[in-house]
Amino acid sequence: MTEYRTVRVALLGAGSVGSQVARLLLAHGDELAARSGARLELVGIAVRDIDAGRDVELPRELLTTDAESLVVGADIVIELIGGIEPARSLILQAIHAGADVVTGNKALLAAHGSELFDATEQVGAEIYYEAAVAAAIPIIRPLRDSLAGDNVQRILAIVNGSTNFILDRMDRFGDSMEDAQKTAFELGFLEADPTLDVDGYDAAQKATILASLAFHSTVPADGVYREGIADITPAQIDAARTAGYVIKLLAIAERITAADGTEGISARVYPALVAREHPLAAVHGGNNAVFVEAEAAGPLMFYGAGAGGVQTASAVLGDLVSAARRHIAGGPGLGESTHADLPLLPIGDVITKYQITLRVNDLQGVLAEVATTFANGGVSVETVEQTIDPEEGGTAFLVIGTHAAREHALQATVAALKASDVVNSVVSVLRVEGV
Amino acid sequence: MTEYRTVRVALLGAGSVGSQVARLLLAHGDELAARSGARLELVGIAVRDIDAGRDVELPRELLTTDAESLVVGADIVIELIGGIEPARSLILQAIHAGADVVTGNKALLAAHGSELFDATEQVGAEIYYEAAVAAAIPIIRPLRDSLAGDNVQRILAIVNGSTNFILDRMDRFGDSMEDAQKTAFELGFLEADPTLDVDGYDAAQKATILASLAFHSTVPADGVYREGIADITPAQIDAARTAGYVIKLLAIAERITAADGTEGISARVYPALVAREHPLAAVHGGNNAVFVEAEAAGPLMFYGAGAGGVQTASAVLGDLVSAARRHIAGGPGLGESTHADLPLLPIGDVITKYQITLRVNDLQGVLAEVATTFANGGVSVETVEQTIDPEEGGTAFLVIGTHAAREHALQATVAALKASDVVNSVVSVLRVEGV
């Protein structure tokens, strides 16, 4: 029988992910030892309340409320508490004590990633965070290692299962936004406070992490442009379907060149029109997918479950094995490479196609006037479709598809349309992605 | 400016992949240095003919016909010659000289993987082979690292772009097998000798590699069950469509339990029926996709281009950066873990569903007799559909869908059907996968 060196593992948090990590770690000890070259000894599990009810029964003698003491002496610390504090302090404490860290804490990485990565660099430690984006789907390691010899150009990602579930219900079952949210809540896809998901904050945190990693730069979380899905209407969903699109909340990280020639990064989150034939359009329910376009590799997609305790535990345990291998054999602890140091550019610099729906009076000359407004704004029109409003005589809808245009030109054009006498209202402005 | 240590890289082969690797390595030297921590010095490119025409112009002073001398003194050897010899000898020579190896040579890994991995283990070297399966799609690293804490149960993979292109043409454009192969050849998807692709040899090599890696065992290439697509007919494609399926050539690696209780691996390649809603059904043209089912992670899919010089070069360069990082910082050189040591089980032990099409005389009592044959064979019938043959009066087609059954029971049943008086012929036997 092989003698393995022991690696001491401290687990912080025993929620839906943490309890599954503990269960699998205790159940598959021999197998994990064979794969990592180390006996992974779970030295303790820090919880807020030892007597709290849990889905998984955990050995009582491992539970402690003293997270700080648990971190001391651990070789690897798994942080699954979530939120900023005390997670941040405990991770810094672990790093300074020489431990490697495994975390799924997207909020912390988005807000304080630089601080944590700088700390690891000082001591030669490493942070593993596959579980922070798209649960079990391997995306951090592919970006960091598999595509290390390539240049990522763009990432379009469905990284929030709740909003994908809601939009998918509206698209496939004709639900209203309210009903879709209600169903999502009942099935556990949505928290009691849906803000984090519905308003795109969760997706924006993941966009920050993906953009930083893909472009070897520090992307400040508060600079990520963000629109949620709260205002998406069944009418927009139907119109998208008619035009061959589906509406998806996308987290986007893209290398772009600003109008003034500056090379930089766009990181943004919004509901966008995606062509039905695009691989992302086939991502249903609570699933996640990350679509990566790289210079040499071309388009790649990574698909799977976007949430779930046991699914996310798979990613945590994969990181744990990597950390244990490194603990035994040594190896690269490069920290997070930010050598490219590209600036985050504002949304105005982004170039996409748009689909704009206007409500207009059905009068002669309206189309010419609208077309002139687009031309004056420097936005080139590709398609126009006019439909009479069946409910109100004398008015019509104009659906205008544009060629690729810069966001600031588009916004100025939309402002001009709103001020125009011939336009009753701007019903919908949606960006088209994946083209 | 950062001072980087120099890592000496020898490239063997300058075909469609090798020439792109050389081009990108020379063009992106600074960027690759920043990412790997090493200056990657291309010390030479071994070719058969220095004056051969190439898509990419390579510095003539780097070209040599003396591969053996080039290997001496290299830190990392990239082998892109393909085939067994001299690739095998050169790689062994490189390993014994202490170099790490990057290769895309699936034929060699399938046939001699154990020998190569044993050699690396002796000297603490490492073989990287992301490019050997599914070109640029990251699948080796996700299986080896990301899923290291999980248990893979099954892999269903479209890993041969040529056959996927052919079957996709037949399905979407109604091509005959002959026409589809002709188009595939004209567009460069098929070699002059199509045997390797069409008869499933290429997919079987990849199944060997995936099964070995996923199940931590040594899978002998010559034990992989293999059927090609040459006999697939437009009638089968149409019948599949009618029944809600698409026919895909799948490379399958699965953990199974034999009839006698033995735990083991099935590795097999055949054209199978895949439900239209399955993510693999949406993989069109020459693309590849690897669908992985793991115990904790659930279903995952990795999708992208399955071939192409520059796409495959992306995978090679990713491996090169990993190898260079390890060369600088040290680190895990675990070789290939085969600790699970599971046996490869024969096709007879596999359990799947089947769809069997029989041509029968349209007489009373035929269905009862056929049903009895299935029952005697221990194969449970799930669905039966009877259609009158429009071209020949008095005969009908019976399409029988079975419940999950073991292959040896199915084969015995098919033999009994062939011998039956009421069955004119067994028109088609296809397995159903992804359920």
Tell whether B110 is covered by a domain: yes
A335 found inside a domain: no
- Check pLDDT > 70 for residue B30: yes
High-pLDDT (> 70) share of chain B, %: 98
B68 is an annotated ligand-binding site residue: no
Distance CA A90, CA A116 (A): 11
Residue A13 annotated in ligand binding: yes
Query: Which residues in B lie closer than 8 A to residue A333 (C-beta atoms)?
Result: 329
Region of residue A322 (left: phi > 0; alpha: psi -120 to 50; beta: else): alpha
Cβ atoms of residues A117 and A100 within 8 Å: no
Q: Which two tokens stand for residue A334?
A: 């490069």
Closest CB to A297: pick one of B300, B304, B332: B304
User: pLDDT tens for residues B171-205?
Assistant: 999 999 999 999 999 998 988 789 999 999 999 99
- B75/A contact by beta carbon, under 8 A: no
CATH assignment at residue A184: 3.30.360.10
B180 & B285 share domain: yes
CA distance B231 to B421: 25
Catalytic entry in B182, B206, B248, B418: B206
Rama region for B365: left / alpha / beta (φ>0; ψ in -120 to 50; rest): left
- Residues from chain B contacting residue A146 (CB–CB below 8 Å): 130, 138, 141-142, 315, 318
Q: For residue B25, what is the nearest residue in chain A, using CA coordinates?
A: A149
Tokens of B251: 């490379």
ipTM given for this complex: 0.93
Q: Which residue has the tokens 């803000």?
A: A195
Q: What is the pLDDT of residue A186?
A: 94
Separation of alpha carbons A410 and B198, rounded Å = 51
> How far is CA B426 from each of CA A107, A127, B386, B432, B435, rounded to the nearest angstrom?
60, 59, 14, 17, 24
In terms of domains, do B42 and B67 share one? yes
Structure tokens at B342: 């599971």
For residue B86, is the peptide bond before it cis, meaning its omega torsion is within 30 degrees of 0? yes
pLDDT for position B328: 86
Asked if B334 is an interface residue toward chain A (Cβ–Cβ < 8 A), one would say: yes
User: A198: number of CA atoms within 13 Å, CB side?
Assistant: 18
Q: Tell me the residue range of the domain where A94 lies.
A: 5-135+310-329
CATH code, domain carrying B323: 3.40.50.720
Tell whether A340 is covered by a domain: no
Q: Is position A342 within any domain? A: no
Same domain membership, residue A220 and residue A360:
no
Check whether residue B320 and residue B397 sit in a common domain: no
Structure tokens at A127: 């942070």
| Euclidean distance between CA atoms B201 and B110, whole angstroms | 11
Which residues of chain A register pLDDT less than 70?
Answer: 1, 331-336
* Burial of A346 from C-beta contacts in 10 A (0-12 / 13-18 / 19+): middle
What is the Cα–Cα distance from A281 to A287, expressed in whole angstroms? 11
At B313, the amino acid letter reads A
B113-135: pLDDT as tens digits: 999 999 998 998 999 999 999 99
Residues A409 and A429 in one domain: yes
Report CB contact under 8 Å: B300, A136.
Answer: yes
Question: What's the gap in Å between the CA of B31 and the closest CA on chain A?
Answer: 8
Return the pLDDT at B388: 81
**DSSP per-residue letters across B94-144:** HHHTT-EEEE--HHHHHHHHHHHHHHHHHHT--EE-GGGSSTTS--HHIII
**pLDDT for the residue numbered A406:** 97
* Number of domains present in the structure of chain B: 3
Decide if B412 is inside a domain: yes
Cβ atoms of A210 and A256 within 8 Å: the answer is: no
To the question of whether residue A331 is assigned a binding role by annotation, the answer is no
The residue of chain B with its CA nearest to that of A128 is B146
Cβ contact A123:A98 at 8 Å:
yes
The string of pLDDT tens digits covering residues B60-79 is 999 999 999 999 999 999 99
Contact A286, A162 (CB under 8 A): yes
Instruction: Give residues 212 to 251 of B whose Cβ lies within 8 Å of A.
Output: 216
* Residue A36 near chain B (CB below 8 Å): yes
A354 and A295: one domain? Answer: no
Strands B100-103 and B76-79: parallel
| C-alpha span between B352 and B338 (Å, rounded) | 27
Task: Based on the residue annotation, tell me whether B206 is a catalytic residue of this protein.
Answer: yes
CA dihedral A63, A64, A67, A69 (to 10 degrees): -120
Domain check: are A23 and A71 in the same one?
A: yes
- In the predicted structure, residue B338 carries a pLDDT above the cut 90: no
Together in a domain, A72 and A122: yes
Same domain? For B270 and B404 the reply is no
pLDDT of B332 higher than 80:
no
A428 is in an annotated binding site: no
Facing residue for B130 by CB, picked from A146, A311, A340: A146
Residue B340 lies in a domain: no
Q: How many CA atoms lie within 13 A of B407 on its CB side?
A: 16
| A·B CB contacts under 8 A | 204
Query: A146, A246, A339, A341: best mutation site toward chain B, by most B Cβ within 10 Å?
Result: A146
Dihedrals phi, psi of B21, to nearest 5 degrees: -60, -45
Span B378-398, pLDDT tens digits: 999 999 998 887 777 788 999
- What's the pLDDT score for residue A335? 55
**Nearest chain B Cα distance for residue A290, angstroms:** 10
- To the question of whether residue B18 is assigned a binding role by annotation, the answer is yes
Which one of A145, A304, A328 has the shortest CB-CB distance to B141? A145
Task: Name the pairing type of β-strands A287-294 and A298-305.
Answer: antiparallel
Alpha-carbon distance of A319 to A332, in angstroms, equals 14
In a domain, B370, yes or no: yes
Q: What is the CATH number of the domain that holds B355?
A: 3.30.70.260
Q: Which residues of A are catalytic?
A: 206
Q: Cα–Cα distance between A232 and A216 in angstroms, integer?
A: 34
- Domain co-membership, B48 together with B84: yes
pLDDT over threshold 70, residue B336: no
CB A63 within 8 A of CB A50: yes
- Any domain includes B345: no
Cβ contact, residue pair B340, A34, below 8 Å: yes
Surface-to-core class of residue A365, CB atoms within 10 Å of its CB (0-12 exposed, 13-18 middle, 19+ buried):
exposed
Give the 3-state DSSP-derived string for A349-416, with helices as H, strands as E and coil as C. Answer: HCEEEEEEEEEEECCCCHHHHHHHHHHHHCCCEEEEEEEECCCCCCEEEEEEEECCEEHHHHHHHHHH
Same-domain check for residues B253 and B164 = yes
Q: Is there a single domain that holds both residue B391 and residue B279?
A: no
Average pLDDT over residues B288-310: 96
